[in-house]
């Protein structure tokens, strides 16, 4: 399997360990991974703020950068949802967009749906609270959202469940939004913070030790709120847990 690795902007700048864990996992399961250094952004921040012309330029660069790969994989449901579901709104009917949508996958769905991974070997003796990010849940269908009357499933949780000692905690509202929403966190700061604090309270009540997600953007928001309140809660991308990385120590809040 020839994989072009797409690392979202915020992971590249703030959480490089997530990118390294993604490579470790893909290679463990037989993928040949290439990181095209000319890659930039998927265009989601521009599209979300109404700058469609700017988003189209960035998306065009994405299409050119990854056009020759068999698969494109990213450790972000949010960015993959942008490519798969929203590029068509930028370009209209375009065979290049359709082809890219078919071969672009979020990391966990690539492992389960393409590679066929049913269990990841390893150990992680912690109580883990899984944050189901909105884009992954409702646009990529990584799991069944609670508003759907259907057989429950969750691709991210199924991968985590294979690790020895890992206990997934039960949340009272398992798929509420964290409140980040990209530029929503800037334009509606108070609402965004309240939504994030509500999610943290749910995890605290459930006894979460490690807050995990397939989207680092959600964890950046939740982890930032937890750090500023000196909450003893570690945050990790699912890739870091599955790859066997150590739990980071929570950073103290700046005075």
CATH class of 122-243: alpha beta
Section 236-250 average pLDDT: 93
Residue 255 has pLDDT above 60, yes or no: no
Amino acid 227: pLDDT: 94
Percent of the chain with pLDDT over 70: 98
| CA distance readout (Å), 22 to 39, 130, 214 | 17, 18, 11
Amino acid 251: pLDDT: 66
Instruction: Note the pTM of the prediction, 2 decimals.
Output: 0.93
* Residue 253's pLDDT band (cuts 50, 70, 90): low
Closest CA to 183 of 149, 146, 221: 221
Residue 117 has pLDDT above 60, yes or no: yes
3-state helix, strand, coil in the chain (%, to 5): 50, 15, 40
Q: Where in the chain is the domain with CATH 3.40.50?
A: 122-243
* Residue 250's pLDDT band (cuts 50, 70, 90): low
Structure confidence by residue, pLDDT tens digits, 11-32 = 999 999 999 999 999 999 999 9
244 or 150: whose pLDDT is higher? Answer: 244
1 or 210: whose pLDDT is higher? Answer: 210
Closest CA to 241 of 85, 155, 147, 120: 120
Helix, strand, or coil (residue 123): strand
- What mean pLDDT, rounded, does the chain reach? 93
């Amino acid at each position: 399997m020839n994989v072009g690795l797409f690392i979202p902007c915020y992971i590249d700048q703030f959480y490089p360990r997530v990118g390294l864990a993604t490579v470790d996992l893909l290679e463990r399961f037989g993928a040949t991974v290439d990181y095209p250094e000319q890659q930039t952004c998927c265009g989601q921040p521009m599209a979300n703020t109404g700058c469609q012309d700017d988003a189209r330029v960035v998306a065009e660069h994405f299409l050119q950068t990854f056009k020759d790969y068999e698969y494109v994989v990213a450790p972000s449901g949010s960015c993959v949802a942008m490519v798969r579901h929203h590029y068509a709104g930028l370009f209209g009917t375009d065979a290049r967009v359709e082809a890219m949508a078919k071969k672009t996958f979020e990391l966990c769905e690539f492992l389960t749906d393409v590679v066929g991974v049913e269990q990841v070997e390893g150990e992680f003796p912690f109580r883990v609270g899984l944050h189901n990010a909105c884009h992954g849940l409702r646009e990529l269908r990584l799991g069944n959202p609670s508003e759907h009357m259907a057989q429950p499933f969750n691709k991210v949780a199924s991968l985590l469940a294979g690790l020895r000692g890992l206990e997934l905690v039960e949340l009272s509202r398992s798929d509420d939004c964290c409140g980040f929403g990209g530029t929503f966190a800037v334009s509606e700061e108070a609402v965004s913070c309240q939504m994030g604090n509500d999610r943290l309270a749910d995890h605290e009540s459930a006894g979460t030790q490690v807050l995990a997600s397939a989207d680092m953007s959600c964890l950046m928001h939740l982890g930032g709120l937890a750090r500023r309140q000196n909450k003893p809660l570690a945050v990790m991308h699912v890739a870091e847990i599955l790859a066997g990385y150590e739990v980071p120590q929570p950073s103290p809040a700046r005075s």
